[in-house]
Amino acid sequence: MRVYADHAATTKMRASALKAYTDAANEFYGNPSSLHSEGQRAKEVLEDCRARIAALLGANANEIVFTSGGSEADNQALLSAAKWGALKGKKRIVSTAIEHHAVLHTLKKLEKEGYEVVLLPVGADGIVKVADAENAIDDNTCLVSVMLANNEIGTIQPVEEISKICLAKKVPFHTDAVQAVGHMPVNVQALGCDYLALSAHKFGGPRGVGALYARRGAPLYPLIEGGAQEKGKRAGTENLPAIVAMTVALEEAIAELPEVTKRVSAMRDRLIEGLEKVPHCALNGDRVHRLAGNVSFCFEGVEGESLLLYLDDMGVSASSGSACTSGSLDPSHVLLAIGRVHDVAHGSLRLTLDGTNTMEEVEYLLSAVPAVVEKVRSFSPVWRDLQEGKRSFIL
Ligand SMILES: *Cc1c(COP(=O)(O)O)cnc(C)c1O
């Protein structure tokens, strides 16, 4: 059996999206900027997609900018608000310690350019405290950025409460909703955000395409200069087949959301309950305020990389955290932020499910994962020290 349990890293394209992609590439090959019939037809399809994506998010069509994905959308939101801030003499940015690297690395760059970046801590539950956000915002703050759902531990952040504070203090608010869109209800009016980033390949669309929602009046500057596409906010000939496929994928994801959420969260809960029986392990992130498909654990006395390799041999595709940190030896910044010490953070395992997974696969995971943990522990010097009492258990 092969079980793909890494849907937070990327998803297989939905059949409907793949068909929409090839059909659009075939039929709407005109350049939307061209004046001839093929161009105008492509332009109509493009604007139809924009209206449909906007409707799904509770936005207006002219508030949607198509991008190359979540990273670009995050970059554009952050850099636009920062630029506006500099013009106003406000150079403080408030965000969180558990953001995706698309946000964190952009903030690092802004810090080098003289911005003051404040990263809010999270509790052991992996959730930022609203009061901390409120206290961190001052008159010099030009942007607050808090992700809606975390990509490693799946925790859902109190974005609505924080955006209310931002609105009252007239500070632009961005949310990286890449893990949330298509996986939980997302409405920009309810969230009260000024910017929101989404990415198609996290909900069964193609990779390399996403969108930035920017509320009317929110500062917005292009990252890419060139033609006047996207009303001058994003130059480059539009990736129409990908945009069409993203639209179809999101419509389908949202239509099936109630049924899928029920089924996937039942699989998640079964998996969590089963894995908790492994000795010396702990669930990462709050049990309730988490994405329907996210299961994240730390196993003490385990080296995460070996765990992943042996699991792959057993037919299980999993992750240690984010696809971006795996391959590096630094433990995940998210696990450190929830208080896991380095050794424990190294023994992390993330299993992310979606509607394509089955309960049968979950049962298989429940036999494979504990067996592999035991195997990896059997040749771990750290585990031996723990057994012999030369080190004490943390979990
Ligand atoms: C995947 C992801 C991104 C990056 O999106 P890409 O489309 O891969 O650039 C940003 N933020 C979060 C939370 C993600 O999970």
> Do 26 and 153 have their domain in common?
yes
> Do 120 and 45 have their domain in common?
yes
Q: What is the CATH number of the domain that holds 383?
A: 3.90.1150.10
What is this structure's pTM?
0.97
- What DSSP string describes 197-262? EEEGGGTTS-SS-EEEEE-TTS----SS-SS-GGGGTS-S---HHHHHHHHHHHHHHHHTHHHHHH
Count up the domains in the chain and report the number: 2
| Cβ of 337 below 6 Å from ligand 1 | no
> Do 282 and 193 have their domain in common?
no
> Do 218 and 285 have their domain in common?
no
Is the model's pLDDT at 21 over the cut of 70?
yes
Return d(Cα 152, Cα 9) in angstroms, integer: 9
> Do 113 and 212 have their domain in common?
yes
Q: Report the candidate in 311, 283, 209 with the shortest Cα–Cα distance to residue 250.
A: 209
- What DSSP string describes 71-122? HHHHHHHHHHHHHHHHHHT--EEEEETT--HHHHHHHHHHHHTT-EEEEE-B
pLDDT of residue 64: 98
> Do 72 and 208 have their domain in common?
yes
| Cβ of 126 below 6 Å from ligand 1 | no
> Do 145 and 174 have their domain in common?
yes
Pocket test for ligand 1, best of 11, 66, 179 (most atoms within 8 A of CB): 179
Known catalytic residues? 324
45 CA from centroid of ligand 1 (Å): 26
- Residue-wise pLDDT tens digits, 221-275: 999 999 999 999 999 999 999 999 999 999 999 999 999 999 999 999 999 999 9
Domain coverage including residue 146: 15-254
CA 67 to chain centre: 16
> Do 101 and 245 have their domain in common?
yes
| Cβ of 199 below 6 Å from ligand 1 | yes
- Residue-wise pLDDT tens digits, 217-235: 999 999 999 999 999 999 9
98 CA from centroid of ligand 1 (Å): 13
Is the model's pLDDT at 326 over the cut of 90?
no
For range 102-114, the mean pLDDT: 98
Q: Report the candidate in 19, 43, 365 with the shortest Cα–Cα distance to residue 204.
A: 19
Is the model's pLDDT at 325 over the cut of 80?
no
Out of 237, 254, 271, a domain closes at 254
Q: How confident is the model at residue 166 (pLDDT cuts 50, 70, 90)?
A: very high
| Cβ proximity of 74 and 100 under 8 Å | yes
| Cβ of 102 below 6 Å from ligand 1 | yes
> Do 153 and 36 have their domain in common?
yes
Q: Is residue 1 part of a domain?
A: no
> Do 231 and 342 have their domain in common?
no
Pocket test for ligand 1, best of 6, 100, 183 (most atoms within 8 A of CB): 100
Out of 254, 278, 296, a domain closes at 254
Quote the mean pLDDT of the chain.
96
pLDDT of residue 324: 46
> Do 237 and 268 have their domain in common?
no
Say which amino acid occupies 379.
F
DSSP summary character for residue 142: E
298 CA from centroid of ligand 1 (Å): 23
> Do 80 and 24 have their domain in common?
yes
Which residues, in sequence order, are bridge partners of residue 3? 316
Residue nearest to atom 6 of ligand 1 (CA): 70
